[in-house]
């Protein structure tokens, strides 16, 4: 009779290697929380590591460029992390990153989902999932353009501009109307943008095309810059403002996938 095969336990060496990696990550996380170089004693306290253990691991990370040690013996994150971060960032495509989340939002609502970016005084739509059931033609086809003040995504970018640049935009463009519902007066636009600022989402209620409504939320990159807007567009008769939190949540997921870390609260 053959003896039963049992799954072999991880070797002591394997356990030790994993433990070292976990301790290394602890040290990196603590260093990331400090703007200034941190002394070994403080690092040991905040990570719960013995000073000699922390010193040994920091020595190895210093040698590889993940950590830098100052003449005063304090530690900070090293240039190697910046190099790797830049490499990761260069390989991230907004459209490729956003599409799985856009498809998920499309599946949850059954409506068209758009990805728009700013080009001067207009929004350009660079990606879209089609609802496949729209009874009204939706203007947000890939490559389509629309003025900032009439689109939900455009309003997000105007909020980011601040009051002075909003007024410059109004003077420069004269706020042309696309439909009778379009905002064409600066006071009304400022009031609308204040709502967008407070709620973190923007609406286009028949303002680009009669019979079409949109909800949009902003997408930010790793530096916190607003780089795109995610919008859900529907025929007016199917419009549901209760989708706003879902749109915002999806935009936040895309932002996190691009490396954006929202500011800590509390």
SS3 72: coil
Mean local confidence (pLDDT), 181-194:
97
pLDDT at 140 over 90: no
Report the 10 Å Cβ neighbour count for 62. 14
Burial 86-95, CB ≥16 within 10 A → b, else e: eeeeeeeebe
> Which of 90 and 197 is assigned the larger pLDDT?
197
What confidence score (pLDDT) does residue 13 get? 61
Q: Is the pLDDT confidence value at 135 over 50?
A: no
The most confident of 7-11, 19-23, 67-71, 177-181, by mean pLDDT: 177-181
How deeply is 140 buried, as exposed, middle or buried, from its count of CB atoms within 10 A (0-12, 13-18, 19+)?
buried
Q: How confident is the model at residue 137 (pLDDT cuts 50, 70, 90)?
A: very low
Question: Is residue 166 very low, low, confident or very high in pLDDT (cuts 50, 70, 90)?
Answer: very high
Q: Average model confidence (pLDDT) for the chain? A: 88
Average pLDDT over residues 186-191: 97
Mean pLDDT computed over 166-171: 96
For the beta carbon of residue 142, count every other beta carbon within 10 angstroms.
12
pLDDT at 3: 46
Give me the pLDDT at residue 86, please. 74
Return d(Cα 50, Cα 21) in angstroms, integer.
Answer: 15
Task: Beginning with the edge strand found earlier in the chain, give each strand of the sheet holding 74-77 in spatial order.
Answer: 38-39, 74-77, 67-69
The percentage of residues in the chain with a pLDDT greater than 90, rounded to a whole number, is 71
Q: Which residues contact 94 (CB under 8 A, 6 or more apart)?
A: 115, 117, 126, 219, 227, 228, 258
Domains of the chain are 13-77 (1.10.10.10), 87-258 (3.30.450.40)
**pTM, entire model:** 0.68
> What is the pLDDT averaged over residues 188-205?
96
How sure is the predictor about 71, in pLDDT bands with cuts at 50, 70 and 90? Answer: confident
Work out the pLDDT band at 93, boundaries 50, 70, 90: confident
Q: Report the pLDDT averaged over residues 212-236.
A: 94
- Identify the band that residue 57 occupies on the pLDDT scale cut at 50, 70 and 90: very high
How far apart CA 198 and CA 116 sit, in angstroms, is: 21
- What is residue 185's three-state secondary structure? coil
Q: Which of 59-68, 86-95, 144-153, 248-257 has the lowest mean pLDDT?
A: 86-95
Check residue 149 and give its pLDDT.
97
Residue 131 is predicted with a pLDDT of: 57
Is residue 155 exposed (0-12), middle (13-18) or buried (19+ Cβ within 10 Å)? buried
Stretch 212-237: mean pLDDT: 94
Average pLDDT over residues 231-237: 94
Average pLDDT over residues 24-45: 93
Nearest Cα residue to 153 out of 239, 227, 93: 227
**The pLDDT value given to residue 17:** 82
Residue 127 to residue 146: CA distance in whole angstroms = 15
Task: Report the DSSP beta bridge partners of residue 145.
Answer: 124
């Amino acid at each position: 009779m053959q003896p039963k095969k049992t799954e072999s336990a991880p070797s002591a060496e394997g356990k030790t290697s994993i433990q070292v990696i976990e301790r290394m990550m602890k040290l990196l996380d603590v260093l990331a929380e400090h703007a200034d170089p941190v002394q070994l004693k403080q690092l040991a306290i905040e990570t719960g590591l013995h000073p000699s253990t922390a010193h040994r691991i920091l020595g190895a990370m210093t040698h590889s460029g993940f950590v830098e040690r100052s003449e005063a013996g304090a530690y900070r994150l090293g240039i190697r992390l910046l190099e790797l971060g830049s490499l990761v960032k260069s390989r991230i495509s907004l459209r490729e990153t956003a599409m799985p989340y856009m498809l998920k939002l499309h599946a949850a609502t059954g409506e068209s989902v758009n990805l728009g970016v700013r080009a001067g005084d207009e929004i350009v739509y660079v990606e879209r999932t089609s609802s496949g059931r729209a009874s009204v033609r939706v203007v947000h086809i890939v490559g389509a353009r629309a003025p900032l003040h009439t689109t939900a995504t455009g309003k997000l970018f105007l909020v980011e501009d601040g009051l002075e640049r909003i007024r410059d935009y109004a003077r420069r463009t004269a706020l042309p109307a696309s439909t009778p519902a379009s905002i064409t007066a600066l006071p009304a636009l400022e009031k609308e943008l204040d709502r967008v600022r407070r709620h973190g989402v923007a609406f286009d209620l028949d303002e680009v095309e009669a019979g079409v409504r949109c909800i949009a939320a902003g997408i930010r990159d790793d530096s916190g810059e607003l780089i795109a807007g995610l919008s859900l567009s529907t025929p007016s008769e199917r419009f549901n403002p209760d989708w706003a939190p879902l749109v915002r949540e999806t935009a936040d997921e895309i932002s996190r996938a691009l490396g954006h870390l929202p500011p800590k609260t509390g």
